[in-house]
Amino acid sequence: MLPPVIRVPGHTAEAATVRWALEQIDAEMRERPLASTLVAEHLALVMLIHLLRLHLVVARPGETSGWLAGLTDPIVASALRAIHARPAHAWTVSQLGTVAEVSRSTLAARFKQVVGQSPLEYLTGWRIELAAAHLRRGDDTVAAIARQVGYGSESALSDAFKRITGASPREYRRTSTL
Residue 159 in any domain: the answer is: yes
122-170 pLDDT per residue, tens: 999 999 999 999 999 878 999 999 999 999 999 999 999 999 999 999 9
63-119 pLDDT per residue, tens: 555 777 788 899 999 999 999 999 999 999 999 999 999 999 999 999 999 998 999
14-28 pLDDT per residue, tens: 788 888 989 999 999
First to last CA, the chain: 28
| Contact status, residue 132 vs residue 149, Cβ threshold 8 Å | no
Q: Check residue 18 and give its pLDDT.
A: 85
* Residues 143 and 170 reside in one and the same domain: yes
Contacts of 100 by beta carbon, 8 Å cutoff, 6+ apart: 75, 76, 78, 79, 82, 107
129-138 pLDDT per residue, tens: 999 999 998 7
Residue 3 in any domain: the answer is: no
Q: Check residue 64 and give its pLDDT.
A: 56
Residue 158 in any domain: the answer is: yes
> What is d(CA 98, CA 96) in angstroms, rounded to the nearest whole number?
5
Q: How many domains does the chain have?
A: 3
| Contact status, residue 126 vs residue 104, Cβ threshold 8 Å | no
Residue type, 58: V
> What is d(CA 36, CA 38) in angstroms, rounded to the nearest whole number?
5
Residue type, 102: V
* Residues 45 and 87 reside in one and the same domain: no
